[in-house]
Structure 1
Amino acid sequence: MSATLRPASPPPVVPDTARPALSRARYGLLACLFVITAINYLDRTNLSVALPHIKDELHLSGTQQGLLLSSFGWAYLLLQVPAGRLIDRIGAKLAFGYALVGWSLATIVVAAARSFVPLVGIRVALGAFEAPAFPSNNRLVVNWFPGRERGRATATYTSGEYIGLAVAAPVLSLLTVHFGWRSVFVITGIVGLLFSVVWFAKVYDRPEHSPKVSTAELAHIRQPDELESAEEIAAAKEQAAVLDTSVWSDLRVLLSNRRLWGMYIGQFASASVLFFFLTWFPSYLVEEKHMGIIKAGFWASAPYLAALVGTMAGGAWSDRMLNSGRFSRTFARKAPVMIGFVLASVIVCANFTNSVPLVITFMSIAFFAQGLMQNSWALFSDAVPRRLTGTGGGVFSFAANAGGVLTPLVIGVIVDRTGSFAWALGYIAIVVLVGLLAYALLIDKVERVEG
């Protein structure tokens, strides 16, 4: 990022006399995050629903399918830190809004692809445009919610991933069968373009810029907790306005802390589970369990809904433990994630049955567990230096999407070499146990890292 780039001029701070007497505007912001996250995941996973038809039309091998599913993550992975840096400079609203327009257009263009190589290129472009997504979510939650509410806020916007997929899976399957796989990309891209109008009109980077936020709500949002004093929050605002232009010194802070490394490894493991479901899961049901594509689309909704329940339960449980005063912040933030790692390992049990209800039950438990792991974003928000929320979110998201790049490719190679998904599920189970060990051995305490 060029050292001459300057932050965009922020909107003027709304004076107290112009504010409403009482408000809950932060929930309106959260609703927008929920919708944009649902669209984000819809556009990155629509390929998995259409893939059985694309594979037949383009005559793709398992390894080629793995490359295609992985290609989204190449640019997405490499641009996480630059995207976080961009968010720190121009704000999450603009970064996320422009990204939404870009990835929606890229989604529509997928429908024009006629061969494997152009399809890969378009998916790489899609990943580049989606890079600011989760660092932007993280920054907006930190800006708009006090520490004690961030677990539930994070769980709420993250649940958009699963609701969107649960609703979309059967709908997109029907579109694929009746109107061809290209219709899936045109329709989902148009949905994103329509929501961009709402995003630019309704979202503010900071609550003090919104005329809908009352003085009381602003005071509630800005309340300090045990991680940060009011003076530290004020200092962080000054630091954010005059950001150190040396990205290397900031990365040194983010990459030299053992606890943060435990979070990075855990996030890689969590994402490995997530990306199995986002990429290969429909093909697994069609090819390994011999379901028709429409039947697979409807059955796939169950694990997505289970993941939604896990996400909401993990965030609410974490915040409730934290606010009760009976549990430490470390226990409240780590426990849901670690339980998720343990439960996700049951995914291998699907290897030992051909019963559709049992397969879906095991998959639902595993995806419910991955939902519990999503509390890792709240944990990371409590640990990353406040002035580096965007850049730190980029590093954290980089770790996650390293799993997103590797997992589809590894599974594709395994399927080509063995002709089965059995070892692929074993690979997922091993990775989540590594994540469990990272949390147990490297994250001894959750506290703000100095930086």
Structure 2
Amino acid sequence: MRRDWGALLAVLWLSNMIQLSLRYSWGMVLPQASRQLGLSGLEAGAVMASFYAGYIVAGVPSGYLVDRIGARTAAGLSLISLAAVSALIGLSRSFVELFIAYFAAGILAGPVFPSSLKVVSESLEGRRRATGIGALETVAPIAFLASSLAFPPLTYTIGWNYVYIAISASSLAVALLYLSLVPRTGRGRTGHRPSLVGTMRNFEVVKGALTRLGGMWGLGILTWYYYIETYTGMGAAYAQLVLVVFSAFAVAGQFLGGVLSDRWLAAGRKRVAAAGLLAFSASLILIRAADPGWGTVAVAALAGFTAYFWKAGLDAHIMEAASSTGTASGAGLMNTVSQAGSLSPAAVGASIDAFGVDSIYPLALLAAGPLMSFVVLAAERNGGRRAGSG
């Protein structure tokens, strides 16, 4: 059974690696692509933001679709479609073409993450759920680490266009694995009829998704970190080192956050999330305060560890709150609301155009998101204490 679970987790992990590669690759190919296509900072950020806009549009419908037809069918078709649109991104020759292709990719990627959360949530009990979600979600920082290592040299070797051809081929291969190995899921597995209206009326799910939004806003650093360090630090090679350090510590933070959330379940998953969000906000400001050199590397380690530390526990809480109306529908709503925070790359691009890449304002703009989420969680806890004492 353990071996079967390991193989299943690996396939779920790879499916998310595909859609994350589409997100993270743009930040790595950005210096070359922006030069070749003559993109402004606002246009470069808007391309990435278009993916998240599509992802937001597809969020709730795709989650409901997963609950209705099952994870295997929904995610398998999504991966096949992503193979086609990835190739179109590689063939794009203008801002408009890139914008449309990335928007379509965001829509088509919609079912992948809800499918994975549905499978994990229905397979593990409460005191193992956040750990399982944390293990699954290590794919995000590992995908960023892999992107940091692979995409910059690959871009300069074969060109940014062919990076997306490679992603296309990989997506098709993973789709075949997914359709072969992932079991059927759906209404029959949980005993609950999926309820789209019920999910949208679930206050705890909506509140958790809004809190998650601030953290996702801060993760806009993933699009711009390489660019910022390239032009304000010590060049492209140094920027790549910073990203590798950030990504390596992010893997540890993602997994440890899930483990601690399960271990301290009685104290509440939200406390672990609140601590991570506050530290993440502070670390974003420190990126600009650190001097180029080992200070920047140390800050990258702190930013990486805290960037995902908050995520597994908060996601597990949302999935538990959504269990009565459909876990994938809850995941879809969570993505729809919280991924609005992922529109931050466009705002940061505009800030860079206005104030310069070496200004504190783009990073302060990012730091505001997780800070606001921390305030919401802290206020909720304090409000609960006052109510209890009354």
Return the TM-score normalized by structure 1: 0.79
Tell me the SS of whatever aligns to 1:387: coil
Give the match for residue 14 of structure 1.
Answer: none
Residue-by-residue CA offset, 1:281-328 (whole Å, 9 max, x unaligned): 211111232512x44234311101111100111111222233xxxxx1
1:266 & 1:335 partners in 2: Cα distance? 13
**Aligned with 1:76 (options 50, 55, 66):** 55
- The structure with the larger Rg is 1
Shift of 1:39: 2.3
Tell me the SS of whatever aligns to 1:354: coil
Shift of 1:144: 1.4
Contact 2:199 2:326 in 1 (8 A): no
2:298 & 2:284 partners in 1: Cα distance? 9
1:129 & 1:360 partners in 2: Cα distance? 36
Tell me the SS of whatever aligns to 1:113: coil
- Percent of residue pairs identical: 22
Q: Report matched runs for 1:46-125 at 5 Å.
A: 46-125=25-104
**Aligned with 1:266 (options 177, 187, 211):** 211
**Aligned partner of 1:386: which letter?**
S
Tell me the SS of whatever aligns to 1:355: coil
Shift of 1:161: 1.6
Tell me the SS of whatever aligns to 1:239: coil
Residue-by-residue CA offset, 1:347-380 (whole Å, 9 max, x unaligned): 1112123313222321321221121111211111
1:347 & 1:200 partners in 2: Cα distance? 40
Give the match for residue 360 of structure 1.
Answer: 297
Give the match for residue 195 of structure 1.
Answer: 174
1:415 & 1:365 partners in 2: Cα distance? 23
Return the TM-score normalized by structure 2: 0.91
1:143 & 1:40 partners in 2: Cα distance? 22
Q: Report matched runs for 1:15-54 at 5 Å.
A: 24-54=3-33
Give the 3 Å change call, closer, same or farther, for CA 350–237 of structure 1 in structure 2: closer
Give the match for residue 316 of structure 2.
Answer: 378
1:437 & 1:262 partners in 2: Cα distance? 13
Shift of 1:193: 1.2
Q: Report matched runs for 1:336-347 at 5 Å.
A: 336-344=272-280, 345-347=282-284
**Aligned with 2:288 (options 334, 351, 354):** 351
Alignment of 1:321 with 2:264, yes or no, is yes
Q: Report matched runs for 1:105-254 at 5 Å.
A: 105-206=84-185, 237-240=190-193, 243-244=194-195, 247=196, 249-254=197-202
2:250 & 2:78 partners in 1: Cα distance? 26
Contact 2:24 2:147 in 1 (8 A): no
Contact 1:151 1:319 in 2 (8 A): yes
**Aligned with 1:429 (options 353, 367, 389):** 367
Shift of 1:251: 4.7
Residue-by-residue CA offset, 1:139-158 (whole Å, 9 max, x unaligned): 11122111221111101110
Contact 2:242 2:296 in 1 (8 A): no
Give the match for residue 387 of structure 2.
Answer: none
Contact 2:290 2:299 in 1 (8 A): no
1:88 & 1:58 partners in 2: Cα distance? 41
Alignment of 1:413 with 2:350, yes or no, is yes
**Aligned partner of 1:284: which letter?**
I
Residue-by-residue CA offset, 1:130-181 (whole Å, 9 max, x unaligned): 1112211221112211122111110111001222221232221111112111
Contact 1:73 1:124 in 2 (8 A): yes
Contact 1:311 1:371 in 2 (8 A): yes
Contact 2:257 2:272 in 1 (8 A): yes
Contact 1:107 1:185 in 2 (8 A): yes
Give the 3 Å change call, closer, same or farther, for CA 132–275 of structure 1 in structure 2: farther
1:173 & 1:237 partners in 2: Cα distance? 44
Shift of 1:422: 1.6
Contact 2:135 2:255 in 1 (8 A): yes
Give the 3 Å change call, closer, same or farther, for CA 362–99 of structure 1 in structure 2: same
Alignment of 1:291 with 2:235, yes or no, is yes
Is there any run of 5+ residues in structure 2 with no aligned partner, and where? 385-390
Contact 1:38 1:162 in 2 (8 A): no
Contact 1:338 1:439 in 2 (8 A): yes
1:431 & 1:398 partners in 2: Cα distance? 16
Tell me the SS of whatever aligns to 2:220: helix
1:385 & 1:176 partners in 2: Cα distance? 43
Contact 2:283 2:303 in 1 (8 A): yes
Shift of 1:65: 1.2
Give the 3 Å change call, closer, same or farther, for CA 155–188 of structure 1 in structure 2: same
Give the 3 Å change call, closer, same or farther, for CA 315–397 of structure 1 in structure 2: same
1:353 & 1:391 partners in 2: Cα distance? 42
Superposition CA RMSD, Å: 2.1
Q: Report matched runs for 1:297-308 at 5 Å.
A: 297-308=240-251
2:200 & 2:145 partners in 1: Cα distance? 40
Give the 3 Å change call, closer, same or farther, for CA 418–156 of structure 1 in structure 2: same
